[in-house]
Amino acid sequence: MNSKNPFLVEVLTAMALVVAPFVLPHLGFAPATINRILIWGLFGLGFDILFGYTGLLSFGQSAFFGTGGMFAAYLMTGMDFPHVLASVCIGATVAGVVGYLVGLVALKRTGIYFAMITVAISEVFFFVEFNPLSAYTGGENGLPGVPTPSFNLGFTTLEFNTDWTMYIFLAIWYFVGLMIALRIVRSPVGAILSAIRDNPLRAAALGHDIHSYKHAAFVIAAVYAGFAGGLLGVMQGFMPPEAFMFDTSGQLVMQTAIGGAGTLFGPLVGATVWLFLSDYFQNTLHLGAIWKLVLGIVFVLLVCFLRRGIVGAIIDVYELGTGGKKAVRPAQVSGAVPAGNHSTSTSPAELMPTIHRPTDSAAGPVLRAIGLSKRYGGLLANSDINFSVEQGEVRGIIGPNGAGKSTFFKMLTREVAPTSGRILFQGRDITALGVADVCQLGLAKSYQINQLFDRLTVRDNLRIAALGELRGRFRLDLFRNIDKIPGLQVQVDRTLALVSLTQRAETPVSELAYGEKRRLEIGLALATSPSLLLLDEPLAGMSPRERIETVALLKSIGRGRTMIIIDHDMDSLFELVERVTVLQEGRVLVEGTPEEIKANAKVQEAYLGGIHEEVA
Amino acid sequence: MINWANFISQCFNGLVLGALLALISSGLTIIYGTLGVLNLAHGAMFMLGGYAGYVAYDYTGSYVVAVVAGSLFVMLVGLLMEKLIIRHFYSRPYEDQLLVTFGLGIVFVEAVRFFFGGLSKSVPPPGPLVGITPLGFMMYPTYRLALLAIVTVALLALYFVLYRTRIGMIVRAGIEDAVMVSSLGIDVYKIFTLVFGIGAMAAGFAGIVNAPVVSIAPDVGESILVQTFVVVVIGGVGSFPGAVVGGLIAGEIISITSMFNPGYAYVMLFVAMTLVLVLRPYGLFGTAGRE
């Protein structure tokens, strides 16, 4: 958040946690309520990583909250295991293992399917806990007699057996939980999770194994839930079966939405509002059963009108007040960027290393497609395409609309499985690999329609791309600072310079102009340091002036790089490429140098023939 | 070991529950298919139908009036809900849609709890359908048999509306591609409102006809909603046949498992759902594009 003082958030939180017990009681908070807020806040830290950062809305967190809590409580009451903290940690671990197993099923699908599956999961756990496992969980009675923590330090024993000592105990653990969550969010994994939230398909296409990252987020959320569940039993001296109820999941979701998802503090703020109002309505206003109705209405109104919750609103107001200048400045700068002198000025392309990967077969074509076909029902989009590109070549593909150009690219990047045929990349058969694998091997594509991470800044977008190459498909470096990854900064800065977005580095993508987004789209593919770069209509939708700039950009990129470019702008394309392949109705019509293609009768007929018919 | 009479009667119970779930799920699934909104308040619609019917029955003493009034009331709630709130969420992310319908569900449940209290209410079956019918091999409650018939008729009616009328054709076209339908000059928003109303009514109707079997309480919709989700995941989102087949599968699983141990009913449902997710990730009748 703040580069000048990296621990600002931690320090402010620590101060707030120290001050809270002196201030909150004057506002009408009961001590038990304050402790409860901390538990919900801790529970919510993991949930926010799953929902706010990764975009997976789970209604099943009660399953892990209950599992962790019950396991810890059973250890202490049923098995007389005396160590409170160890029990809670074991409970959290068990919740994590259960989360891993549940994740195997729940993460088979995304979006609303994921939400529905997690609802079902929470209900399964509730019934299992209530009935078949009631001998261990106490069924509807729960588990009473959970001991309070005490630590024998030799000279004295620390007891946490009153509301205020319990507050200290919980506040310490909330703080630890927050520190860990902040590290995770600021790690490369955290960056990739945000990318998955914004655009999962592109995150995969940049070489990240998004399924494993989602699974990791799911387990992290389960561990937090299990730990918070264990603390609930310890705080109350009793593990309630209600922890397993769907209402628990629902309350967590609502508190997080009220507080603001994707902020880490949202759940804590939401819990504060929720528990305060529920106390206030019941004890002060004596509303009785209506309190939940009022809270429900408040929640619906908040979702309707305050999209980013309370913390989100505070951030917005803060940025309006102070950071307003920040938002304006880059816009002015971009206006000052000279538009035309791209090609004449520096060519950062030479600074950019082309290939990091060892090429095992230096001789022979970089890419070969053999008899590649794609059938959609009755439609033959690509039919028996044989195609090869040599190292260092810049190839163009043209063809009328519907010729199957984009389908061909999608098969090369493994976004679409071919019906038959084989693809060899650097001599290796990649026909059966996944999207992320292909990118890892060094084959990247820029899309016809921008596929960017809209809520992230330009720099963060490029980081996601570069991380795929620097870290591999999947790596769980949860506690590594993303700023300290060797080579990342250099690679991102080079790409920024290459696509002339250095001045816009800290701007969110949603504020970019179309031409800038288009350049970033190309930059994303470039930042993966591909050995083969596919560009699907890089000039689409550009003004004549932007086209000139982009052609210059592509020329500078093309030096020493292997590229295949699809475009409809033939004048620009012929200027860029050495050879051209013409597709028509899913087949290779002809292949040759731009001059040969221009003179070719079949090509003229393919394009002009259509016009003649229309005219006639 | 197994008591066959009991087993057969449980199979019948499963059939009744399955038909009911099929009706509720088809309401949920046509709403999702057309509008792209998963209505987490769908369980509350089921509950509202029961209470609206209960009130109507209380005033008139007529089962038929209760069913008609209950269904129409929930349809009205659905229409208003779409017009006033859901409409503003089409362009927002799916999480917001889930949150707002979830919140509305709570508001409905708590409003009912406030006006009617937490205790359960019951509506008796109409006179001619009280008692038990001998089926030769077993005795079975008459109303449950009638319920099977009533729900089957309702499903057929829904089928007729969806597959044999002009409106239904537009709705099915909207499930495939709402943008295309609107560019054909059809006011797709009007259709959306109508679909939401019909979908809600399906749940409300189920809520009132089921009230003589299972007494109604404010939270009666919650477990129904969960079962409906399983049905939709098994059947495939946006598919009417999927909802019917999924409903029957889920109904039988719940009833037969409950014969041995009710605690495992949800576990078995979950196992079935997992199997489907592994073998046919888009559901038995689902297609990839509808997510």
pLDDT tens digits, residue range A111-122? Answer: 888 988 899 888
How many other CB atoms sit within 10 Å of the CB of residue A448? 18
Whether A599 contacts A609, CB under 8 Å? no
d(CA A569, CA A555): 15
Nearest to B263 among A128, A246, A300 (CB): A128
Q: Average pLDDT for residues A295-310, to the nearest whole number?
A: 88
Per-residue model confidence as pLDDT tens digits over A490-525: 999 999 998 889 999 999 999 998 888 999 999 999
Q: Chain A 571-600, CB below 8 Å of chain B: which residues?
A: none
Whether A239 contacts A75, CB under 8 Å? no
Q: How far does the CA of residue B102 sit from the closest CA of chain A (Å)?
A: 8
d(CA A193, CA A197): 6
A108 touches chain B (CB under 8 A): yes
Q: Average pLDDT for residues A20-37, to the nearest whole number?
A: 88
Whether A111 contacts A253, CB under 8 Å? no
d(CA B98, CA A512): 30
- State the residue for tokens 């053999």: A370
Q: Average pLDDT for residues A405-425, to the nearest whole number?
A: 90
Predicted confidence band at A28 (pLDDT cuts at 50, 70, 90)? confident
d(CA A452, CA A499): 15
What mean pLDDT, rounded, does chain B reach? 88
Could you tell me which CATH number the domain at A363-442+533-616 has?
3.40.50.300
Per-residue model confidence as pLDDT tens digits over A267-294: 999 999 999 988 888 888 877 778 888 8
* Record: contact B98-A57, CB cut-off 8 A: yes
The larger pLDDT score, comparing residue A39 to residue A560, is at A39
What is the distance in angstroms between the CA of the first residue and the CA of the last residue of chain B?
Answer: 45
The pLDDT score that the predictor gives to residue B81 is 94
d(CA A337, CA A550): 15
Q: Average pLDDT for residues A550-578, to the nearest whole number?
A: 87
- State the residue for tokens 């009755």: A378
* Record: contact A112-B38, CB cut-off 8 A: yes
Q: Average pLDDT for residues A5-13, to the nearest whole number?
A: 83
Predicted confidence band at B65 (pLDDT cuts at 50, 70, 90)? very high
Out of 1.10.8, 1.10.3470, 1.20.120, 3.30.460, select the CATH number for domain A23-320. Answer: 1.10.3470
Q: Average pLDDT for residues A232-259, to the nearest whole number?
A: 90
Per-residue model confidence as pLDDT tens digits over A59-98: 999 999 999 999 999 998 888 888 888 899 999 999 999 9
pLDDT beyond 50 at B170: yes
Which residues in A lie closer than 8 A to residue B229 (C-beta atoms)?
116-117, 119-120
* Record: contact A113-B237, CB cut-off 8 A: yes
Per-residue model confidence as pLDDT tens digits over A188-233: 999 999 999 999 999 999 999 999 999 999 999 999 999 999 999 9
Which residues in B lie closer than 8 A to residue A304 (C-beta atoms)?
85, 88, 100
What mean pLDDT, rounded, does chain A reach? 85
pLDDT beyond 90 at A40: yes
d(CA A558, CA A93): 51
Whether A564 contacts A395, CB under 8 Å? yes
d(CA B160, CA B168): 8
The pLDDT score that the predictor gives to residue B108 is 95
The pLDDT score that the predictor gives to residue A292 is 86
Which residues in A lie closer than 8 A to residue B94 (C-beta atoms)?
57, 111-112
* Record: contact B103-A246, CB cut-off 8 A: no
Percentage of chain A exceeding pLDDT 90: 39
pLDDT beyond 70 at A350: no
According to the per-residue pLDDT averaged within each range, which of A207-216, A379-388, A409-418 is highest? Answer: A207-216
Tokens (6 digits) for A252: 């967590």
What is the widest separation between alpha-carbon atoms in chain A?
102
d(CA B39, CA B225): 10
Q: Write the DSSP assignment of B74-142 as a string of letters.
A: HHHHHHHHHHHTGGGGTTS-HHHHHHHHHHHHHHHHHHHHHHH-SS-B--PPPGGG-SEEE-SS-EEEH
d(CA A158, CA A163): 14
Residue type, B48: L
Instruction: Using the Cα atoms of residue A596, residue A597, residue A598 and residue A604 in order, give the sign of their dihedral.
Output: positive
The pLDDT score that the predictor gives to residue A96 is 96
Q: Average pLDDT for residues B160-178, to the nearest whole number?
A: 82
Predicted confidence band at A361 (pLDDT cuts at 50, 70, 90)? very low
The pLDDT score that the predictor gives to residue B117 is 84
pLDDT beyond 60 at B1: no
Per-residue model confidence as pLDDT tens digits over A130-168: 877 888 887 788 888 788 887 777 787 788 878 888 899
Whether A76 contacts A148, CB under 8 Å? no
Query: What backbone phi and psi angles, to 5 degrees, belong to B3?
Result: -85, 110
Predicted confidence band at A332 (pLDDT cuts at 50, 70, 90)? very low
Q: Write the DSSP assignment of A173-189 as a string of letters.
A: HHHHHHHHHHHHHTSHH
d(CA B272, CA B249): 9
- SS3 of residue B161 by DSSP: helix
Cα A139 to chain center, whole Å? 39
Predicted confidence band at B291 (pLDDT cuts at 50, 70, 90)? very low
A106-137 burial: b if 16+ Cβ within 10 Å, else e: bbbbbbbbbbbbbbbbbbbbbbbbbbebeeeb
Chain B positions touching chain A (beta carbons under 8 Å): 32, 38, 85, 88, 92, 94-96, 98-100, 102-104, 106-107, 110-111, 113-114, 118, 222-223, 225-226, 229-230, 232-233, 237, 261-267, 269-270, 273-274, 277-278, 281, 291
* Record: contact A121-B270, CB cut-off 8 A: yes
The pLDDT score that the predictor gives to residue A323 is 58
A131 touches chain B (CB under 8 A): yes
Per-residue model confidence as pLDDT tens digits over B220-238: 998 899 999 999 999 988 8
* Record: contact A124-B96, CB cut-off 8 A: no
Q: How far does the CA of residue A289 sit from the closest CA of chain B (Å)?
A: 6
Tell me the domain boundaries of chain A.
23-320, 363-442+533-616, 449-529
Alpha carbon distances (Å) from B196 to A471, A570, B52, B111, B290:
47, 49, 18, 21, 18
How many other CB atoms sit within 10 Å of the CB of residue B119? 9
* Record: contact B95-A127, CB cut-off 8 A: no
Nearest CA in chain A to B267: A124
Q: Write the DSSP assignment of A470-502 as a string of letters.
A: HH-S----TTS-GGGSTTHHHHHHHHHHHTT-G
Whether B63 contacts B125, CB under 8 Å? yes
Nearest to B291 among A59, A113, A132 (CB): A113
The residues with which B132 forms a beta bridge, in sequence order, are B141
Query: What backbone phi and psi angles, to 5 degrees, belong to A410?
Result: -65, -35
